[in-house]
Amino acid sequence: MSFHRSGPSYGNRRASVQRLGGLLVALACLLFPAFARAADPPAKIVALGDSLTAGLGLPMNASFPAKLARALQAKGYAVGITNAGVSGDTTAGGLARLDWSVPEGTDAVILELGANDMLRGLDPKLTKATLDQILSKLAARHIPVLLAGMKAMRNLGSDYAREFDTIYPALASTHSVVFYPFFLAGVASDPKLNQDDGLHPNAAGVDVIVARILPQVEALIARARAARRP
């Protein structure tokens, strides 16, 4: 005698449950964008810069990359940000260490270099050429970039300031980057937001930088995710 079980088999029920689960995830992504962001694989971002990135004079957890990572995570983004800032670094130094500072598997780069070139009075043409090389190398590796601009101190003379200040907008017009015109916007020259040297942001100053640059970093992450898709 044989018995025949009526109704759906275990396999069919499992498929139904899987389909239902997929629909619930899709619905959650639609209704709650933060859920969709968290569901993505973590974005690996390298912040390549000088002391402004490294966090000179600040605890490591108060540096720009650390505070930026926390701000993004609070908005539901799965990210990891490597602090590849080296105090005193010029654009030439950044170019020299580019390959090991931005390892394979990096999804995006925040490029913040040039302030030390300016403070040393280096020829803006050389600074621009070096940044151009960095951007070209990253483009060849298909790594999206957020280019953080810098402006010259006015005591260097109007001619120098005028030439230096054109570097970053010119590069942004020739490279496909997310552009943030001035990394120290809202912070430069404000004693309440800078350390005693008047050059490096204090913890409150870093908070201002993070809040202002956050939309551009979100745009960078969107580009990185788009680049992942086949």
Q: Annotated catalytic residue: which of 2, 107, 200, 207?
A: 200
Q: Do 71 and 21 belong to one domain?
A: no
Q: Do 29 and 52 belong to one domain?
A: no
Q: What is the per-residue pLDDT for 41?
A: 82
Overall average pLDDT of the 42-48 stretch: 97
Q: Annotated catalytic residue: which of 51, 101, 117, 165?
A: 51
Query: Is residue 106 included in any domain, yes or no?
Result: yes
What dihedral do alpha carbons 214, 220, 225, 230 form, nearest 10°? 170
Instruction: Residue 181: count other Cβ atoms within 10 Å of its Cβ.
Output: 15
Query: Is residue 1 included in any domain, yes or no?
Result: no
Q: Do 27 and 60 belong to one domain?
A: no
Q: Do 18 and 53 belong to one domain?
A: no
Q: Are 191 and 165 in contact (CB under 8 A)?
A: no
- Residue 190 identity (one-letter amino acid): D
Q: Give the count of domains, the chain.
A: 2
Angstrom distance (rounded) from CA 78 to CA 119? 36
Overall average pLDDT of the 130-146 stretch: 98
CATH number at residue 223: 3.40.50.1110
Q: Do 78 and 149 belong to one domain?
A: yes
Query: Which residues have C-beta within 8 Å of that of residue 81, sequence separation ≥ 6?
Result: 45, 46, 47, 65, 66, 68, 69, 72, 110
Of the chain, the percentage scoring pLDDT greater than 90 comes to 80
Which ranges of the chain does DSSP label H, i.e. alpha helix? 10-31, 33-39, 51-54, 64-74, 91-96, 98-101, 115-119, 124-140, 158-165, 167-174, 203-228
189 is catalytic: no
Q: What is the per-residue pLDDT for 2?
A: 37
101 is catalytic: no
Q: Do 162 and 206 belong to one domain?
A: yes
Angstrom distance (rounded) from CA 77 to CA 64? 17
Confidence class for position 13, pLDDT limits 50, 70, 90: very low
Query: Is residue 165 included in any domain, yes or no?
Result: yes
Q: What is the per-residue pLDDT for 9?
A: 36
200 is catalytic: yes
More confidently predicted of 229 and 177: 177
Query: Is residue 176 included in any domain, yes or no?
Result: yes
Query: Is residue 2 included in any domain, yes or no?
Result: no
Query: Is residue 3 included in any domain, yes or no?
Result: no
Q: Do 34 and 49 belong to one domain?
A: no
Query: Is residue 139 included in any domain, yes or no?
Result: yes
Query: Per residue in 178-225, pLDDT tens?
Result: 999 999 999 999 999 999 999 999 999 999 999 999 999 999 999 999
What dihedral do alpha carbons 80, 182, 179, 219 form, nearest 10°? 40
Q: Do 141 and 95 belong to one domain?
A: yes
Q: Do 24 and 61 belong to one domain?
A: no
**Is the pLDDT at 25 greater than 60, yes or no?**
no
Query: Is residue 208 included in any domain, yes or no?
Result: yes
Q: What is the per-residue pLDDT for 7?
A: 42
Q: Do 29 and 78 belong to one domain?
A: no
Confidence class for position 228, pLDDT limits 50, 70, 90: confident
Q: Do 109 and 25 belong to one domain?
A: no
Residue whose C-alpha is closest to residue 79's, from 185, 193, 214: 214
Query: Per residue in 47-78, pLDDT tens?
Result: 999 999 999 999 999 999 999 999 999 999 99
Q: Do 33 and 53 belong to one domain?
A: no
Angstrom distance (rounded) from CA 180 to CA 142? 20
Q: Which domain holds residue 193?
A: 40-228
Q: Annotated catalytic residue: which of 2, 158, 159, 197?
A: 197
